[in-house]
Chain A
């Protein structure tokens, strides 16, 4: 009795916080000058949130560290760029970019998901590099110069801000839905013990492919939003190793396998990057590396784990572990 009562109370207050944050985010731009720096930060952070949430659904939950996610980001970006250039409104291309990335993920997933651990890492790494090289040499999609979209004459960041914000919220919602479902539980089981998961009746290959589909769909949409903001799809950037690495770093910094970890990680990652780039233009990567090393050494569970202060909590993210207290 007591427990369930407490739970509704906690849930209510949390929902309230979330609503406050969302309404502030929705209203704030109205009071800012046009194309304020805040909008740039917010848009890039939202895209980062979508990327890290997407990556987390496959790699955070099943424990299969994927380096191929830059590829889904790139496929999403190119899909939008190509459709946009052929005259379709970019917002309509959002779902198509996600679907294209998901379809592409099947071709990567079927061979790679037979592998586990370091072999999976190598497999996905190779898939990412191969795609980057193909995109670099494929003249139909712009080759190494990439695809550049002429920006409209009168341009405001505001509509794009709202679209990315809504997409980021959707990505968080999808990730919450997956983590709290039976399907999510099966993915956790796969991460914890692959053989035992098979033995209790989980079709590990099929479940991992489902996770990959959702994951790549979300990351593909992030790619699409990126191109809509930057107006440029450069193969070395969107298919680049760095893109995968940043998704991994954001999730690991925040807290891998949790709901709010990737969100927190993405926010910190991007703001930290901007700050360091602004104040230490020559040293920023070095400082960044040191921060990461300290974090991995002292708090491998991520900042979220540090904040909740529960070292051995269940892997259900901030929300569940709070409920247990």
Chain B
């Protein structure tokens, strides 16, 4: 059984069809990539999976159970955690408290003996923010805020982590660091579903990629297969000669 399965989900915003009959599966332990041109509906997919929005049609199954009617906090407690592309830190709280809140409320385990401070510190250490644990989140740079998003998402003890463009906007060194981080997260047996624009990263990391264009799923497969798929090239470059030329090959 797939960890998560989306069956023909659709989402309309007024007259705009953001997502149309998209189906896919996420297998346990894999890193699945989600790519597509701007406005293709990638973040909308994340919003649907994480319970921020409800789909107008179709159903999402997590470990075989329907979850599309659940609220965001319930989805989180089931084990699906996400980061936001436009980071949403708790600005006027300390960095460590940002993580602690997620530790307190993000999962069902209620072990009284657990030391949250220690766990929060080790998470910050893992993410590379331990030196800023006592600063206010609003004093962080964008890179650090993106890291904090990941730390906060990890603190909810997820089985499935949704990463929304955590690498876009970082310089090569920072990007390299984050890629390493994602690998280490995977070693913790956390399944990852990530949106990313940086192709080099997505080709390197992902086991499988799905491609979205205008709210529809246009392609699905391994990174190699995707990069040679004319439908994907058309989605990105338009219906040009390049696409047709490739099709003839």
Contacts and interface: CB of A to CB of B under 8 A. Distances in A.
Interface of A: 182, 185-186, 188-189, 192-193, 195-204, 312, 314-315, 324
23 contacts: A182-B104, A182-B105, A185-B100, A186-B101, A188-B90, A189-B93, A192-B90, A192-B92, A193-B88, A193-B90, A195-B52, A196-B84, A196-B90, A198-B76, A199-B50, A199-B72, A199-B82, A200-B101, A200-B156, A201-B73, A314-B93, A314-B94, A314-B97
B171 to A, nearest CB: 25
B93 A200 contact: no
Nearest to B134: A324
A296 to B, nearest CB: 18
B84 A198 contact: no
Contact of B106 (A182, A188, A201): A201
Nearest to A203: B73
Given A193-B88, A314-B136, A188 B93 contact: yes
Given A201-B73, A312-B136, A196 B100 contact: no
Interface in B76-100: 76-77, 81-82, 84, 88-94, 97, 100
A315 B91 CA distance: 10
A196 B88 contact: yes
Nearest to B71: A198
B66 to A, nearest CB: 19
B42 interface: no
Interface in B42-73: 50-52, 71-73
| Listed residue (B104, B136, B139, B152) with the most chain A CB atoms within 10 angstroms of its CB | B104
Contacts of A204: 73
Interface of B: 50-52, 71-73, 76-77, 81-82, 84, 88-94, 97, 100-102, 104-107, 134, 136, 138-139, 152-153, 155-156
Nearest to B155: A200
Given A185-B104, A201-B102, A192 B91 contact: yes
Question: Majority SS of interface residues in chain A?
Answer: helix
Contacts of A188: 90, 92-93, 97, 101
A192 B138 CA distance: 11
A196 B91 CA distance: 11
> Max chain A CB contacts within 10 Å: which of B102, B136, B152?
B102
A196 B89 contact: yes
A186 B90 contact: no
B81 A202 contact: no
B76, B89, B101, B156: residue with the most chain A Cβ atoms closer than 10 Å: B101
Contacts of B101: 185-186, 188-189, 197, 200, 202
Nearest to A207: B105
A311 to B, nearest CB: 11
A202 B73 contact: yes
B105 A201 contact: yes
Contacts of B94: 314
B52 A199 contact: yes
B167 to A, nearest CB: 20
Contacts of A199: 50, 52, 72-73, 76, 81-82, 84, 88
Most chain B beta-carbon neighbours within 10 Å: one of A182, A192, A196: A196
Contacts of B82: 199
B73 A198 contact: yes
Given A185-B97, A189-B93, A200 B52 contact: no
Nearest to B84: A196
Contacts of B105: 182, 186, 200-202
Nearest to B139: A312
Contacts of A312: 136, 138-139
Contacts of B92: 188, 192, 314-315
Given A185-B97, A196-B84, 16 more contacts: A182-B104, A182-B105, A185-B104, A192-B92, A195-B84, A196-B152, A198-B73, A200-B73, A200-B76, A200-B81, A200-B101, A200-B106, A201-B107, A202-B73, A312-B136, A314-B97
